[in-house]
Amino acid sequence: MMMDNSPARIVDPQDPELSPERLKERFGRDFFRDFDIDDPNLNTHFHEVIDLMVQKCPVAHSKVGTGYYVFSTEEAVRKIGQDWQTFSSAKGYIPNRPDDMPLMIPVEQDPPNHTAWRRVLNPHMGPKVMDAIRDDVAREVNALIDKFIDRGECEFIGEMAGLLPGRAFFIYVLGVPVVDLPELVHDVDKSLFGPLDERTAYHKKVYDYLEKFLKEREAMEPQGDIVDTILKGVTYGDGSEASWEHKVSVVLDLTYGGISTTIYALGSTARHLADHPEQRQQLLDNPEWIENAVEEFVRAYSPVVAMGRTCTRDTEVEGVQLKEGDYVMMGFSSAGRDPRTIADPKALNFAEPTIHHPTFGVGPHRCIGSHLARMELAVFTREWLRRIPHFRVKAGTEPVYETGFLRAMSSLWLSWDK
C-alpha cells in the first residue's frame, strides 16, 4: 500500500514557492504532491519542473494509479539503482504498467537472470565493437547530410536524428532490414508517447515485428552476431532455459534502447550547439573536446526522465519510509542536474565535463548501449561540424518535445547559409 505524502522531505510547507496554488499557477499542476509523468504540463515546463524538484523537493509523490514516489537527487538515484535486492526491476520500469504489455528483457529482470543475459550480450556492445563500426556510422551521417545540405535547412529529427540511430543499430548491430525502419520508429514512438489507451497495442506491434524477424533468423545459417547469441539463449539461476518469449523480448529491449533514447540525445545536441554559438566554436577550435561534450550533452539532457523499481521490503530513502510493494522512480534527468554534486549543473563545460553522471543508469541495469550511443553522438558531432559549422534554429520555428518516462523531440528545424 502506498503511504500518504506527508514526509517532510517531500515538500517544505514553509516555502511559499512550493504551495499547491503557486505550483499549479506556475506549471499547471502540483508536480511535487501529485506528480504525473504523462501530464502534458510536464512536457511544457520540463526543465523548470525537474530543476526545482532536485533543488527543493528531492522526493515527489504521485497519486496516479496505485501511486509512486520520484527521487531526484543523484545520491538517491544511485542508492536505488545499485540496490537491486531492495528495489526490484522485475515488476516493470514504468509506473502502473499494463499487465498485457510484453516484457522488456533483461531490463525487467533482476540478477541472476539479468546477469545471465548481460554476460552474453555485453561482448557485442563493448567499446572495441563500437570502434570497429565508427567509420560506417560516419558514412551514414554524411549520406544523410548529402540529402539536405544544399537546401540550407532541414527538419533535423525527420532527416537526421530519427534515421541515424536506427541505421547504425539495425544495419551494423542487429541486422534488421533498414527498409522497415520508418514504420518501426513510428510504432516505437507511438508506444512511448501516443494516447495512453493505444500504447500497449503499438508496443505489441513492435514485439510482433521483431518476433517475425527472429523467426526468420532462426531459419538461416548462423552469422556470428548478437542475434545468434540471443537465439542461443541463456540458462537461468533455477536451471531453466530462457523461453522464446524472453528471447524476443531481448531484441525488443535492444530496439527501444537503440532507437528512442539516441534520437533525443542527437536532437538535444544539435539544438544546444545551434543556441550556443560560442560553445560550437569551442568544438570547432578544439575537436578533441567532442567526447567531453558528449558527456555534457547526455548529462544535462538525459533522454530517460525516470525509471521505476518496486520495493521488496520496508526501507528508507531520503527520509521517506517506504513499504514493501511501494513503487519508486529514479529521476535520471534531475540527478544529472543536481547542484549537490555539480557546481553549475545547468551549464555545459566541455573542457572539464562531469564524467560520473547517472544518465546511462547505475548498478547492474546500467545501459548496455552506452558505448554505441556515445560513439554515435561523437561521430555525428564531428561530421556535422565539419560540414555545417555554423547553423541555427530556423527563424519562426520552435522545437517540439514529447515527454513520458522518456524525453523526446519530434521536430527541430535548423538552417544555415548555403
pLDDT tens for each residue of 176-185:
777 888 888 8
What tens digit of pLDDT does each residue of 141-186 get? 999 999 999 999 999 999 999 999 988 888 888 887 778 888 888 8
pLDDT the model gives residue 10? 66
pLDDT higher at 171 or 63: 63
* Average pLDDT, integer, range 314-337: 96
Residue 2's pLDDT is what? 38
Statement: residue 7 has pLDDT above 50:
no
Q: Is the pLDDT of residue 188 over 90?
A: no
Indicate if the pLDDT at residue 13 is higher than 90: no
pLDDT (0 to 100) of residue 25: 96
**pLDDT classification of 4: cutoffs 50, 70, 90:** very low
The mean predicted confidence, pLDDT, of the chain is: 92
Task: Specify the pLDDT at position 140.
Answer: 96
How much is the pLDDT for 354? 87
Q: What is the pLDDT of residue 9?
A: 57
Share of the chain above pLDDT 70, in %: 98
Rounded to whole angstroms, how far apart are CA atoms 93 and 82?
15
pLDDT at residue 177, rounded to an integer: 78
User: For residue 396, what pLDDT band results from cuts at 50, 70 and 90?
Assistant: very high
CATH class of 16-415: mainly alpha
Lowest mean pLDDT among 49-58, 81-90, 249-258: 249-258
